[in-house]
Amino acid sequence: MRMEGRLALAAGDDQFAREQFGAAADFWGRLSGRLEEARSRRLLGQVMSRIGDPAAAIEEMRRAYHAAVRCSAGTETRLAKEELMRLGDTIEPTPEQVKRALELLHQPAALSGSALLGTMNLSMDIDAAKLHDVLEDTIRELSRGSAGEEVEAARVLLDCYVNRVGSHEVVAERLHLSRRTFYRRLDRGLLTLAQRLGQLRVPAAI
């Protein structure tokens, strides 16, 4: 199927190539052949990009990346990552994604549709409840130090989003921070949390 798809692609028959790569991806997915599924979905994503459907291309590339990560296929992981970056997609958690997820932290249904959960699920298999626990546990861990800007930043996140003690002004006063310092710590906390989440790699069992 994949060979037929390659030949069709070379001949300019994008529709037939799409059908063949899609069939190959589904076939290997049913057999849990993660490496071959990753290869097939990456090729399918390239076809979708070529025919002018970037949303479908990103979806297939994300699935290719996920399959590659789950079978520890370094080359395929790198290739899918490069394709996603070319398509303008984010495969690592961003501060913006983290901020929005924290705003939804106590709303399980909304958190389940967050961009952060989708990004995390490229390299893990978690649901909204698990994401809630990961966010809260990581913030608490970062806040346990004795001093320093990073600890202050984590405590800002803890009071704003986990404990929900009040408005930004209330949290700033509680932590004895000026308004300017509060927002610097908030930005730093979101960045640090995004970086920490990006280090998590817990693929599901094959």
Q: Per residue in 100-154, pLDDT tens? A: 999 999 999 999 999 999 899 888 888 999 999 999 999 999 999 877 899 999 9
d(CA 198, CA 123): 9
Whole-prediction pTM value? 0.72
Longest dimension (CA), the chain: 67
Distance in angstroms (rounded) separating the CA atoms of residues 33 and 206: 9
Domains parsed from the chain with CATH numbers: 2-86 (1.25.40), 95-198 (no CATH)
Query: Would the pLDDT of 182 be above 60?
Result: yes
SS3 category, 202: strand
Q: Which two tokens stand for residue 203?
A: 């693929």
Query: What is the reported pLDDT for 205?
Result: 40
Share of the chain above pLDDT 90, in %: 81
Mean per-residue pLDDT for 81-104? 92
How far from the centroid of its chain's Cα atoms is residue 185's Cα? 24
**Residue 183, SS3 per DSSP:** helix
Question: What is the average per-residue pLDDT within 54-59?
Answer: 93
How large is the average pLDDT for residues 155-164? 97
88 — alpha (psi -120 to 50), left (phi > 0) or beta?
A: left
